[in-house]
Chains A and B, each alone.
Chain A
Amino acid sequence: MAAFTQSGCQVSSTSQRITVASAGSISSLDPAQVSTVHSLQLLSAIGDPLYSLNKDGSLQPRLAASEPTISADGRLVTIPLRTDVRFHDGTRFDAKAMAFSLRRFLRIGTLSYVVGDRIKAVEVEAPHVLRLELNRRSTSLEGLLTSINLTPLSPRAYAKHKDSFLHDNFVGTGPYRLTKFNEKQQRLEPFEQYWGDPPKNPGLDLISLSNSTALFGALRSGEVDVLLSASIDEDQRHALNQQAKRGDLHESVGPAMEIGYITLLSNTAPLSDQRLRQAIALSLDRDEVSERVSYGLRRPLRALIPPSLPGGGVAPWPKHNPKEAKTLLRQSGYCQGSQLEVPLTFRSNVPADKLLALTWQAQVQRDLADCMVLKLDGVESTTVYRQLGEGAFKAVILDWLGSYPDPEAYLNPLLSCSNAEGHVCLDGEAAISGSFWSAPGLQTALQDSDSVRGAPRVAVLNTIEELTVNGAAYIPVWLESPRSWSQRSVKPPQYNRSGFLRLAELERVSHQQEGN
């Protein structure tokens, strides 16, 4: 028995390959289709973006040979491409291949609306020069060009899938080739003809385990080398964090790009009263929530734009202030024998949401018992997303990760409105996101923010945030950073600026280094 169990253990411990575990299965590898963090992480290892972001937020060419050239009116973007890149099937990467991939994405991509709004046409200017014709000037296009969803595909390999998805294979240009794929397990081998630095490991095995306890246990038992944080329960995240502090594991933290927030329904009573929404916002003690729910691992957030992006780093939303909240509630006729009842919906399959809801409910009970009460209601996430745009939830806890690293990817999905009457959005993203809130001048400001750069852009972004603070239809709660933990036998993992773990840089250390 002992020999049997030990012989099995030796399989993983003697291999130089690295096993990376995360939650959830990968249903598709087609860049025109993938949207989950898990799938995008894998795509970042087997594909390349045109650009990546430097530490200062500037563009660093990847498959592009240099920075894009933008015409005076901002509508023509010329991108020179590298000439030394090959696809995994041995064919050459050029402007035709890039145009093929972009056009395919625009035609069938499930996120094509993100791009299609900006890109009018994709042209091949020269064998290694690509030209994009835009519908309008777009500052955020640069962030969009770092998206791994726009990674090029081999036209030869995808000839039969020009207009359909290829979900179980991938032929791109990345540092790894995909050699085995199923929804729960993928095997990657280094691509011998890769144009950049070769991977530092002899190959990767990516596995999906279906629950947090299994992931936690797999790292604890040494069965996996690296664990990605998505879907790990807060207690287990904290335990791993403590182990890392003791030196038993390595912990790596990526740029905080995911925001947690609460949406308030602003077009129907009682929350159509702006003062009530402001009072609700003031009733939330983010610091306490952060500490109680996530042991401080999710940082309190008082803005919609993550701090690492232009316009981020400010905190315009007011701090916890129950006294001021009580004043506003009184002005609206509450606290004098009348209690404001707010139904708060949380996604029942997201443990952190429930803990946040319970903690906030207790805060309100402690600080504003005679004025306000939160009634909790757990609803499965698919149902929440379906009914959000129908105005089904007075207050609902949600999170958002922008499709690309730009403020527009955070503001537009929450605030953009194509048809507004006063402060009510009838059509557009603000309606879809469940707040139905808008403000005079807000849509213009959103458009302006995508047409200017530098300090003027930051000023416009700050104006947008201030308008939103006044409207109080959204309450930012916390900011989440991607985390990973690795065994001491693996060098500490590193994240790129887009929040993806650099899988090609994972490397085993010698026993001597491990001891140190």
Chain B
Amino acid sequence: MGRARDLIRYSATRLGLAPLMLWLIATLVFLLLRVAPGDPVDAVLGSRAPAAAKAAMRARLGLDQSLLDQYLSYLNGLIHGDLGQALLNQEPVSKIIGNTLPASLELSVIALIAAAIIGLSIGFSGIARPEGAVDFSGRLYGLGTYALPPFWVAMMVQLIFAVSLGWFPVGGRFPPSLLPPEGSGFFLFDSIVSGNWPALVGSIRHLVLPAATLALLLSGTFTTALRLNLRRTLRGDYVEAARSRGLSERQVIVHHALPNALLPVLTIAGITVASLIGGALLIEVTFSWPGIALRLQEAINQRDYPVVQGIVVVIAALVVLVSVAVDLLVAALDPRVRY
């Protein structure tokens, strides 16, 4: 009972601190964008527009107000759930995020699942004979995927499987000749729900290369994490106790060591998926995947302040939510965790 109360108090504290963290991030992004060289009015009108035209646009966009007024207006909007409008085309930022976030989430989740399956399988496979050939290969694999530059891997995958072999599309998220399924923005889900099989096949074909690349790059993290944690837990007293009770090595590993070794991996997975939402930029750029990271990059280039601010705040909020959720899950699964 006391533990449950502690858990609730901890969750409330974490969630209570989230607005403070989001405020700090929002303020930092607001200030950094303003001190960065480049002017959104130039991005919209071009540098050669007359001063009068620039001034008129600056007034229309509220950029003629003092920095403090702009900041207060921005915070006021944020508090009321209004992320503002894109400077370039006046499209609501929430709509832009709504259009691009599902693409990134779909890619991240699929890649993470694939990475976990590959990485954990390789990490687990060497445990029967530590320092043996399989274990050594697993270590090498883990290190190798760390060391590979993501853009190089992505381009190689693209050149081999899309350009040379022509098995998969070079880029994009959906075949141009088909109409994407309407609904949640998660094309796999929407295609299945609507029974639109050509759309499902098209979506999967476009997803394979970026997801496989991302999975390959991430899987090493899981391999290394599982291997290290499994080796540590296998040295634990409770494992020795299990062995002394006459359990087979397989039972010891599967029922005693593995569940404990997987707990830190769960935390890693949570942090990874949170960071992937905004951090898969190189993959999104290489495969022209219309996700939130690619949109963020475009917005930064265009100095579209509201879009950058909105995307960063939403990503930060997601990171906070996912990390709290992972903490709670770990706490629920591991009775040793105290808060």
Contact = CB atoms under 8 A, between A and B. Distances in A.
B38 A386 contact: yes
A7 B288 contact: no
B286 interface: yes
B39 interface: yes
B179 A180 contact: yes
Contacts of A238: none
Contact of A214 (B42, B53, B57, B288): B288
Contact of A8 (B91, B158, B201, B284): B201
A454 to B, nearest CB: 28
A389 B287 CA distance: 37
Given A180-B179, A182-B99, A387 B37 contact: yes
B294 interface: yes
Nearest to A387: B37
Contacts of B285: 210-211
A433 B99 contact: no
B50 A12 contact: no
Most buried by B among A180, A184, A206, A380: A184
B170 A221 contact: yes
B148 interface: no
A10 to B, nearest CB: 10
A123 to B, nearest CB: 24
What is the interface of chain A mostly: helix, strand, loop, or mixed?
Answer: mixed
Contacts of B167: 5
Interface string B38-63: 11001111111110110001000000
B339 to A, nearest CB: 44
A27 B169 contact: no
Interface stretch (A131-139, A163-171, A270-278): A163-171
Contacts, number: 152
Contacts of A19: 176-177
B194 interface: no
Interface stretch (B122-130, B212-220, B256-264, B298-306): B298-306
B261 to A, nearest CB: 33
Contact of A165 (B90, B166, B177): B90
B42 A386 contact: yes
A130 B243 CA distance: 95
A512 to B, nearest CB: 24
Contacts of B57: 110
Interface string B182-223: 000000000000000010011011000000000000000000
Contact of B47 (A25, A167, A217, A386): A386
The 6 A-B pairs of least Cβ separation, nearest first, read A205-B176, A167-B89, A385-B47, A217-B163, A382-B38, A8-B205
Given A210-B286, A386-B38, 9 more contacts: A8-B205, A11-B177, A12-B177, A19-B176, A25-B298, A110-B57, A211-B288, A213-B159, A223-B170
